Chains A and B, each alone.
Chain A
Amino acid sequence: MSEYINLLIGIAMGLNLLALGSSRLPTLIMAVALQGMALGLMPLLMETEADWRLVLVALATVAGKGLLIPTLLRKAMRAAHIDREVEPFIGFVPSLLLGAGGTIAAVALARSLPLLPEHSGSLLVPGSLASVFTGFVLLIGRAKAISQVCGYLILENGIYLFGLLLIHYTPLMVEAGILLDVTVGVFIIGIIVDRIQRAFDSLDTRKLTALRE
């Protein structure tokens, strides 16, 4: 059981690097979508007996993170006629190296934190920290609003991964509330992206520089 989860987390970590190294928006969005789906499946693997509420949350996660949000992003990309190159502030090679360094640091950091016996040997903590770090690099290092949203989603995925450590203990209501908040957050981001596009005729956040000291 644990091997499957670790395999999925390994895939998610690989997708982090793909997201950092990809130079085209559709690839980036695809990486985010695949990662969301991989994460959505995990609660099902962690549970020995299938609880219908758990299945519901898992399905909602897969549908939301894997299908709905990427579709919205693709639609926004197409509607805005933005060209598909990802424009980096931090180049692809430096971001890849940063991501790899972050992943290694995450593994090292995760080792220094004590884990419950049932979680030892699991990649949940390093995978989570690595995704959070990847999300940060994308948020800081990319110029287009959509790539920044992708970075934010990867960051959220990392946190979701960490939340899985607590899945047996936290009330499902809280998990559902968190999922709802994230979805609403992305919707609002989507609306703002749309408005920015209309106001600036571009989704390049480098144009958002009127406000500064």
Chain B
Amino acid sequence: MSLRLILDLIARLALWLLLAPLLPGIINKVKAWVAGRRGPPVLQLYYDLARLWQKHAVLSTLASPGFVIGPAVAWVALAGAALLMPLGPAGSALSFRGDMLLLIYLLALARFCTAWAAMETGSAFEGMGAAREVSFAVLAEATLITALLALCVQTESTSLVTMLAPAAGAGAVLLAAGLFTVLLAENCRVPFDDPNTHLELTMIHEAMVLDHSGPPLAVILHGAALKLLLFSLFLTEAVLPLGQLSTLAATGALVGGVLAVTVGVGLVESLLARLAFRRVPLLLTTAFLLCLFALLMAWKGGAE
């Protein structure tokens, strides 16, 4: 029994790790397509990761071991969070009551470690990037927690498997809009952050990883891809009633949903401009309110 569990876990982990870098590739392809370019191949991130992995890391003499440990811990935390997520019809390998709390904490741990590693360099840019990242995260996390609470109230459960099986009910539209905004913010996409920017002053996430190189950078990039996949999956499962579909339909819906979210991110990135920093809190507050109203609707719906 335990052997099967271990095999299951390994298979899931492999699936997550292998599929995750596909998403940024798709986004870039969509952006290139909208702009009328050919764009980099979909598998570009795989090549980049392989290349980075073979390089040496350049370490600052000032940096403590945290500079390397940070990305590693963040990556492990994200992989762990990924394993907690149920995969539609395949369910979850690790499921227990309250695992949504662990998910929130693992995501927070990953962010903490990335920020920590950034601060280790002692560079002003990294510090600035870390400060921006965590200040936006305060709002984004509140939104995510509210969304999870809404799902909890809706399904009267605190386990991700049962929470994500049915549709989100009346508040689904609100929840979808809120979670999509959180996805954009958490993964540092336009309109919160521009992953392609080359000006340090305007960066958020990118500014934090300026001094990383070689394998640590590869781990950071892969972790970011994992996080993107995790959020798209979460959004899809929260909104679609996967638990009520047959296995085949559910798999199809899941894959289709994740793809749709990814393409959506690409379209948003091509069509919208980045927001001014002072406008970001407004957008995140809006997302928070959307999720809050979804929570209220779940509550009111439950009371009647």
Contact = CB atoms under 8 A, between A and B. Distances in A.
B289 A93 contact: no
B286 interface: yes
Interface of B is mostly: helix
Interface stretch (A55-63, A73-81, A96-104, A133-141): A96-104
Interface residues of A, number: 12
Nearest to A120: B304
Nearest to A92: B282
A23 interface: yes
A85 B147 CA distance: 32
Contacts of B214: none
B180 to A, nearest CB: 16
Q: Name which of B282, B296, B300 has the most chain A CB atoms within 10 A of its CB.
A: B282
A159 B193 CA distance: 41
Contact of A17 (B279, B289, B296, B304): B289
B281 interface: yes
B282 A93 contact: yes
A111 B222 CA distance: 50
A100 B292 CA distance: 9
A107 B301 CA distance: 13
Contacts, number: 25
A21 interface: yes
Interface in B272-291: 279, 281-282, 285-286, 289
Nearest to B303: A111
Contact of A21 (B282, B293, B296, B300): B282
B217 to A, nearest CB: 35
Given A104-B296, A107-B296, A97 B285 contact: yes
Contact of A93 (B281, B292, B296): B281
A5 B285 CA distance: 27
Nearest to A91: B282
A100 B279 contact: no
A97 B296 CA distance: 15
A189 to B, nearest CB: 28
B289 A96 contact: yes
Contacts of A100: 289, 292-293
Interface in B56-74: none
Interface of A: 17, 21, 23, 92-93, 96-97, 100, 103-104, 107, 121
